[in-house]
A and B are shown apart, each in its own frame.
Chain A
Amino acid sequence: MNVLNFVNAFFSDSAHWQGYDGIPQRFWEHVQYSVLALAVASAIGLPVGLLTGHTGRGGNALAFIANAARALPSFGLLVLAVLLIGFGLLPVMIPLVVLAIPPVLVTTYEAVRSVDPAPVDAARGMGMHESRILFQVELPVALPLVLSGLRSAAIQIVSTATIAAYVSLGGLGRYIIDGLYQRDYEKVVGGATLVAVLALATLALFWAAGRLAVSPGVRRR
């Protein structure tokens, strides 16, 4: 049993490229879950990370919460959410967001904390407002690290979003879970390959974002 044969067979079957269970549809669903989870995690993690990083207060509490969140098993959280809320998108989003917040939050906090204090002092001394100091002095310099936090969160979301299929939602997890039930290993390997491809695409996307958004003065190139 050759994995490459499975991959080849899965992707060359034209039936897999059409309909509600076709690759484009499942891929698109997976991207949607991932983007939504990352957006929610960022909406919580970025502001809190930036603010605590800028003021330097609350760092210890932050580290504690983040570590506790990391210890939560995503699958267990999913089952619990479904039991409490019932089926739907929300119980899937909860474990994904909980998974993504620690890397976003902690990295953003550390990124802003580690900015050289001298330019910040200079900016304050020349009469810059605090919000401007955060967004125009600290964030541009912290950006590479902030992006790396977002990137690891995104990769973890992409690989974990397969659990959506357990609670009868779509996404690339469908192939893996259905394949396991049906003992259709071609499907399982195909689905896993697609998840890996999406993870790599995410990496590429963040690399491009870094090239575009980070100043050459910070990249030192």
Chain B
Amino acid sequence: MIRIDSVTKRYPDGTVAVDRLSLEIPDRSITVLVGPSGCGKTTTLRMINRMVEPTEGTILLDGEDIQRQPVTTLRRSMGYVIQNAGLFQHRTIVDNIATVPRMLGWGKQRARERAAELMERVGLDTSLAKRYPYQLSGGQQQRVGVARALAADPPVLLMDEPFSAVDPVVRKGLQDELLRIQDELGKTIVFVTHDIDEAITLGTMVAVLREGGRLAQYAPPAELLSTPADGFVEDFLGADRGIRRLSFFPSAPLELTTDAVVPADAPAERIAAVRSPYLLVTDPDGRPLGWAERDRPTAGTIGTIEAIGTGRLLPYGRPFVPGADSLRVALDCAVLSPTGWAVAVDDEGRVTGVVSQQTIGEAIRAAHSAGRAEDEKAAG
């Protein structure tokens, strides 16, 4: 565990970058430091590997003051990833990744084998091994940066805005990759970003810092969204924190209606039995085709939906997978659906039921009150 104990960084000109900051960073999880520019998040990160020395206070790594060991030993036990990757342009990709193992005295062959292994782990094709950094895209370079930091298998990983210089699509891919790697390796990661969405996506714990380097709130992301400590945190989270909080509630408890789901070759009586105003038409395998309106004369009177022609069905939009997707995804599906009903499918894409916005709304209220009860239990 990394313990930051009442640490202050004051520069000779009097500027205070970090002001009496105390944080306990749990092992094997991602702790995100987030805040506007000038909030001291990068300074805090850089004090952990002593790239910046604190003016006051101590930082403990597994109970021992980090000042006690030689600075290079400390840094070699922590992976360090920075914005724009900071690769060595005169070295090939494989040699970039092998840097720390080589510094630690590994043989060339062993270090290169380890580097190749890491390229696979971060999702880089090993055919890129002999390339130079300028031949790679920004996203690929950043993956190399992560691989290089992981090369000597350090227990701690420090990441300073590693994904802010790549475009949103690539960033999403890198975030997913980081979460996957973290599932496999279980490092203690300290991650700095100015992007609150990134903080909420990645963080097990999120520390929100405010200008002047003071801690505004330190909490798991769901708690941050449900109970921001003050107006600053609330503003920083943005207007739609209620919607975003739904990402932390599972969609599994939603009560699905199967009554309105009918196969395309269903007889007229089956259609007549549907009570809801819309019915979801499926193909023989149970995959969704589109929505039909029950009361449109065509559907009821002609008998089977096949006779109407499936081309005239309303689009069913994007379905969600109960269990895998969150309430936020389910709500999004319902909002985007032309009928206001969301379509639930299983892993194979077969319809398991439909659910109305109203039902989702009830589930949200239930989840909120359960969340509140839990908060109270934790507080009391």
Where the two chains meet, the residues of A that have a C-beta atom closer than 8 Å to any C-beta of B are 116, 118-129, 132, 136-137, 140-141, 214-218, 220
Contact = CB atoms under 8 A, between A and B. Distances in A.
29 contacts: A118-B83, A118-B84, A119-B88, A121-B86, A122-B80, A122-B85, A122-B86, A123-B88, A125-B158, A126-B80, A126-B99, A126-B149, A127-B71, A127-B100, A128-B99, A129-B72, A136-B88, A137-B88, A140-B90, A141-B88, A215-B90, A215-B91, A215-B132, A216-B132, A217-B90, A217-B91, A217-B134, A218-B90, A220-B134
B250 interface: no
B103 A127 contact: yes
Interface in B78-119: 79-80, 82-92, 99-100, 103
B255 to A, nearest CB: 52
Interface string B127-153: 000001110000000000100110000
Given A121-B82, A126-B103, A127-B72, 15 more contacts: A118-B83, A118-B84, A122-B82, A122-B86, A122-B148, A126-B79, A127-B74, A127-B75, A132-B103, A136-B88, A141-B90, A215-B91, A217-B91, A218-B89, A218-B90
Nearest to A220: B134
B149 A141 contact: no
Contacts of A126: 75-76, 79-80, 99-100, 103, 148-149
A125 B103 contact: no
Interface in B39-89: 49, 51, 71-76, 79-80, 82-89
Nearest to A129: B72
Contacts of A215: 89-91, 132
Interface centre among B80, B83, B86, B100 (most CB of A within 10 A): B86
Contacts of B89: 116, 119, 141, 215, 217-218
Interface size class of B (residues with CB under 8 A): 20 to 34
Interface of B: 49, 51, 71-76, 79-80, 82-92, 99-100, 103, 132-134, 145, 148-149, 158
B90 A125 contact: no
Contacts of A216: 132
B373 to A, nearest CB: 44
Contact of B51 (A118, A119, A124, A220): A124
Nearest to A139: B90
Nearest to A214: B90
Contacts of A217: 89-92, 132-134
Nearest to A217: B132
B103 A128 contact: yes
B51 A125 contact: yes
Interface centre among A127, A136, A218 (most CB of B within 10 A): A127
Contact of B82 (A125, A127, A214): A125
A5 to B, nearest CB: 51
B80 A125 contact: yes
Contacts of B76: 126-127
Contacts of A119: 86-89
Contacts of B100: 126-127
A183 B88 CA distance: 59
A85 B80 CA distance: 57
Contacts of B74: 127
Nearest to A122: B86
A125 B83 CA distance: 13
A220 B158 CA distance: 30
Nearest to B70: A127
A214 B89 CA distance: 11
B86 A118 contact: yes
B45 to A, nearest CB: 10
Contacts of A116: 86, 89
B117 to A, nearest CB: 18
A125 B77 CA distance: 10
Contacts of A141: 88-90
Contacts of A129: 72
Contacts of A220: 132, 134
Contacts of B87: 119, 122
A120 B88 CA distance: 9
Contacts of B75: 124-127
B376 to A, nearest CB: 43
A104 B83 CA distance: 33
Contacts of B82: 118, 121-122, 125
A188 B73 CA distance: 65
